[in-house]
């Protein structure tokens, strides 16, 4: 398991948007198991940063320009930079991004409130009071069905 972890933690994207060939130790085991090749879609391959996040409800997701989103919430003053504001607006508009990326509002309300106030132009916005309504308005498709829990371990459910 250690070679696998080292490989995935040290991967660099190639210019073609695909992952480099695995090391011999991992590649040999992966090819024996019949693992498929992995290629990123163009919108991810062209991103400066990509967030890869597993959520029990939303499953495995890839987020383009995720580094900019993290920087924005770390320094809300960046909302005045159009590039950062556009990334946030894109996350709010995207039908491929569920509610999980906005859950940070519960853990870090001050910077999240400041970012949304500026992005939305609503000076009294607070995530605690308005966050759920915002997501239901911007991402109604997410709430149309009961969420399914994804399990990645091999233990039987108890």
pLDDT tens-digit profile of 17-47?
A: 444 444 434 444 444 556 656 677 887 888 8
Least confident of 106-110, 138-142, 149-153: 149-153
Domain boundaries, the chain: 65-143
| 121: alpha, beta or left? (left if phi > 0; alpha if psi -120 to 50) | left
pLDDT tens for 107-118 read 667 889 999 999
Instruction: Please tell me the distance from the alpha carbon of residue 54 to that of residue 6, in angstroms, as a whole number.
Output: 18
Question: For 9-23, what is the mean pLDDT?
Answer: 42
Question: For 44-67, what is the mean pLDDT?
Answer: 84
Is residue 11 predicted with pLDDT exceeding 80? no
Smallest CA-to-CA distance from 142 within 104, 86, 93, 88 is with 93
Instruction: Please tell me the distance from the alpha carbon of residue 36 to that of residue 84, in angstroms, as a whole number.
Output: 35
pTM, full prediction: 0.64
């Amino acid at each position: 398991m250690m070679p696998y972890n080292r490989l995935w933690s040290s991967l660099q994207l190639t210019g073609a948007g695909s992952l480099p060939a695995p090391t011999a130790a991992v590649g040999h085991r992966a090819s024996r198991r019949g693992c498929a090749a992995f290629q990123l879609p163009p919108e991810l391959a062209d991103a400066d940063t990509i967030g890869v996040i597993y959520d029990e409800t939303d499953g495995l997701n890839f987020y383009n320009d995720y580094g900019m989103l993290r920087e924005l919430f770390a320094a809300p003053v960046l909302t005045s930079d159009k590039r950062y504001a556009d990334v946030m607006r894109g996350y709010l508009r995207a039908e491929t991004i569920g509610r999980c990326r906005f859950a940070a509002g519960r853990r870090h309300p001050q910077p999240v409130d400041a970012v949304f106030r500026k992005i939305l132009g609503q000076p009294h916005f607070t995530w605690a009071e308005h966050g759920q309504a915002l997501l239901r308005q911007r991402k109604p498709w997410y709430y149309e069905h009961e969420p399914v829990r994804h399990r990645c371990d091999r233990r039987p459910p108890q």
